[in-house]
Structure 1
Amino acid sequence: MEAQRKPLVSEEEKKLSVNEKLDLLDREVRLLYEFCKNSGFKPGEIEKAAAPFLNTTKRVSRRRWRKRAIDAGKIATLFAILGFALFYIDPVYRGMCFFARRTTIKMLPYWDWTNLYDQPCLIENPYYEGNQITEEDCMACESMNSIPVEENITHSVMSELYLKGLSPVIVTDAMKDWPERKNMNIGYLTELYTTHEVVKEYMSCDYLSNIRVKFGNHRVLLRKIVAGEVSTYFAHWENCFKEAARVFREVFPRPYFLPPMVEQTDTNFIFISSGFNAKSYKPIDTWSSMLTFAQIKGQNKVKVTPKMPCDKMCEAFEDTLDEGEILVVPYFLWNFSYLPVGGEENIAFGVGGNFD
């Protein structure tokens, strides 16, 4: 008769909690390690003998960390998609802006953050000077009494006299080689925005108009105009997705007078109006070094205003931009705004540029 085998786990051990079992296992492993060491085994030999057990432990640990990393990635992706959706939906974005604005106002009694509002950096770098306008720069506009007008202008004159010279200029013959200009009207724009396989897929940014439309959707406004539902209007918006902006750069090519040193931006602007007699100029902000404002159809009044501290030495200038003319504005020294004028259909196209 075979001898009865002793069970590997006693009844008392089966009744232990998980933590107690782990403590028991830890003690057994430590006792085994001490036994092997006292028996003359070297640490390397002990580790080699325990390799099957250690490898299993490492695999379990790696699997656990891999699962945690995947879960963290899924959560981060979900938050990123949710954040993008919240900022993309105009009512939600406006609500978030309102809440943030209200919160910052309520913080004022406890912390005056207004001193930081106009600062370019949260922490000042004593070695960084940035592009600061000096009184020496203001000499470029001190003797100006109007916006210069040019035609058949060369790259070198545009570069040295106006871009590097920090002077705005109107070029009168800039669109002679723009074949689409003669066909340009609101109907053409509407068709381009609603049927072009690339342009129709993208929304615009910074929509501003006297006609309020849901989500600032410029296509809704264009359809209303074409359908005759709107007759008095002004609007401008930015083609802020480079795929859509690239199509408009094909419709409105690079002006002949821009020197190679100017790299045009990946975004551009559309300006439209009809029958709207504006009382105040509409400012256009861009982070680029310069702006070209091309009057494709009709007229617009334009205004360039010197930035501080040059506003004390130089004048602001206003002019009327006629069809076929382009205004070039170096943004380092000047701010730009436009005034929609009443009467017929007006269409303009703006694009920024950077140069050293």
Structure 2
Amino acid sequence: MENEKKKFLVKKLTKVIEEADKNGVSRSDVRNILINPTVDKVKKTDSKTKENTGIENTEYTKEHEEKEKRDERKLSPLKSKYVMYAFMYVFGIISTLITIFIHGFIVDALAEKCFMDQNVYAAEISRPLVQCNMCRNLDSIPVESGISAEEFKRKYAYTSVPVLIKDATNTWSAMTQFNFQFFKDLYFRTEDALRTVDEECQFFPYNTDFLTLSDVFNMSDARANFVDGEMPWYIGWSNCHKEVRNKLRKHYQRPYFLPNNSESSTLDWIFMGGSGPGALVHLDYVVRPSWQAQISGMKTWTLVPSPECEAECKSFNVTVHKGDIFVVDTNVWYHSTFIHPGDISITIGSEYD
């Protein structure tokens, strides 16, 4: 029985092979089909699809290409628009970064006590225009003595009208204690005081060869005392060291005429040096008005109105003697200083709001 089945299968296979040969199907394909009939069905389906859709495929391809072209033409304006939007987006980012950079530069510039070390043109462009009421009817710098806080507030505190106060330092021990050696000892003996000035505060070398406050306090005794033949010097700095501030303010008090509700800055500004030009003409960017007490020596201030007020306002010279306090809004008045021969000029001051 088994032999008959084998003979029957061989006969059938022989017929399949003959049919395959006639139709150009290789015997290896026949073998694969017999092993995996599913593949055969897929191949037959694919073959049949190819046979039946050969022409249609060509037509379909042409139609598809034309449709793609039409779609491309429709999408072309959209693509252009998206490209434009992308460009605008990138441009916006770049513009924002540039704006941030410029803003940071201006903020840094405004943080300086004076713009002498900054780009003068950038600082001038960035400043707000001044209202000329402060100087329109001013013929001379007012001089006051024994002025009350209320009167000072009404006439001077926030009007930008400069004023010279004659009696505000009478009780200050600073008038006898502050000198070059006092500041030298204070900064040398207070831990981190010099480093703080160099790294966190501000130092103004003006027309000297000093780079830091340390350089100033390390100069020779001859130069410090303005011996003939020694190079002249005039410098300034801000103090932001807490311990130094506390020691300084033991020797001077808040000026009696400041408004009762005003707050004083935690910074002290100190300017010191010998005869000759002090600070060259400049404008400050400290936001608030300030007072400056002449502890020693004699100094003349030159005040110049801003360009927009030159047609209406005058320039002034005011000489400040030992014991005087000069109140001036250096944010709106261009100013320079000159130190008179005689005792070393020492000025200490601060801001108020």
Instruction: Report how far residue 194 of structure 1 moved.
Output: 1.0
The superposition leaves residues 209-250 of structure 1 with CA deviations (integer Å, 9 ceiling, x where unpaired) of: 33313xx2213212315x224422211122245554454334
Q: Give the match for residue 153 of structure 1.
A: 147
Distance 2:243 2:282 in 1: 25
The superposition leaves residues 39-63 of structure 1 with CA deviations (integer Å, 9 ceiling, x where unpaired) of: xxxxxxxxxxxxxxxxxxxxxxxxx
> Measured at CA, do residues 117 and 173 of structure 1 come closer, stay the same or move farther in structure 2, by a change above 3 Å?
closer
Q: Give the match for residue 218 of structure 1.
A: 213
Instruction: Report how far residue 170 of structure 1 moved.
Output: 0.3
| 2:140 pairs with 1:133 | no
| 2:202 pairs with 1:205 | yes
Which residues in structure 2 correspond to 1:25-174 (within 5 Å)?
Answer: 118-119=125-126, 132-134=129-131, 138-174=132-168
Instruction: Report how far residue 186 of structure 1 moved.
Output: 0.8
Contact 2:265 2:352 in 1 (8 A): yes
Distance 1:308 1:323 in 2: 32
Distance 2:267 2:279 in 1: 25
Instruction: Report how far residue 152 of structure 1 moved.
Output: 0.6
Q: Give the match for residue 335 of structure 2.
A: 336
Secondary structure (helix, strand or coil) at the match of 1:314 reads coil
Contact 2:234 2:278 in 1 (8 A): no
Distance 1:330 1:344 in 2: 27
Q: Give the match for residue 315 of structure 1.
A: 314
Instruction: Report how far residue 257 of structure 1 moved.
Output: 0.9
Q: Give the match for residue 248 of structure 1.
A: 248
Which residues in structure 2 correspond to 1:207-286 (within 5 Å)?
Answer: 207-213=204-210, 216-225=211-220, 227-230=221-224, 231=226, 232-241=232-241, 244-274=244-274, 276-278=275-277, 281-283=280-282, 285-286=284-285
Structure 2 unpaired stretches of 5+: 1-107, 109-116, 227-231
Distance 1:346 1:179 in 2: 17
Distance 1:157 1:316 in 2: 25
Q: TM-score, normalised by structure 2?
A: 0.57
Distance 1:119 1:287 in 2: 14
> Measured at CA, do residues 195 and 283 of structure 1 come closer, stay the same or move farther in structure 2, by a change above 3 Å?
farther
Q: Give the match for residue 192 of structure 1.
A: 186
Q: Give the match for residue 60 of structure 2.
A: none
Contact 1:305 1:334 in 2 (8 A): yes
Instruction: Report how far residue 205 of structure 1 moved.
Output: 1.1
The superposition leaves residues 142-192 of structure 1 with CA deviations (integer Å, 9 ceiling, x where unpaired) of: 221111100111001110011233310000101012123212211111111
Instruction: Report how far residue 284 of structure 1 moved.
Output: 6.0
> Measured at CA, do residues 336 and 265 of structure 1 come closer, stay the same or move farther in structure 2, by a change above 3 Å?
farther
Contact 2:206 2:234 in 1 (8 A): yes
> Measured at CA, do residues 343 and 259 of structure 1 come closer, stay the same or move farther in structure 2, by a change above 3 Å?
same
> Measured at CA, do residues 249 and 283 of structure 1 come closer, stay the same or move farther in structure 2, by a change above 3 Å?
farther
> Measured at CA, do residues 198 and 150 of structure 1 come closer, stay the same or move farther in structure 2, by a change above 3 Å?
farther
> Measured at CA, do residues 282 and 340 of structure 1 come closer, stay the same or move farther in structure 2, by a change above 3 Å?
farther
Q: TM-score, normalised by structure 1?
A: 0.56
Instruction: Report how far residue 262 of structure 1 moved.
Output: 2.4
What is the letter of the counterpart of residue 270 of structure 1? I
What is the letter of the counterpart of residue 213 of structure 2? H
Q: Give the match for residue 292 of structure 1.
A: 291
Instruction: Report how far residue 133 of structure 1 moved.
Output: 3.1
Q: Give the match for residue 176 of structure 1.
A: 170
Whichever structure has more strand as a proportion of its residues is: 1
Structure showing greater Rg: 2
Contact 2:285 2:331 in 1 (8 A): no
Structure 1 runs of 4+ with >6 Å offset? 114-117
Secondary structure (helix, strand or coil) at the match of 1:288 reads coil
Instruction: Report how far residue 273 of structure 1 moved.
Output: 1.2
Q: Count the aligned residue pairs.
A: 228
Instruction: Report how far residue 294 of structure 1 moved.
Output: 0.9
The superposition leaves residues 47-104 of structure 1 with CA deviations (integer Å, 9 ceiling, x where unpaired) of: xxxxxxxxxxxxxxxxxxxxxxxxxxxxxxxxxxxxxxxx9xxxxxxxxx99xx9xxx
What is the letter of the counterpart of residue 251 of structure 1? H
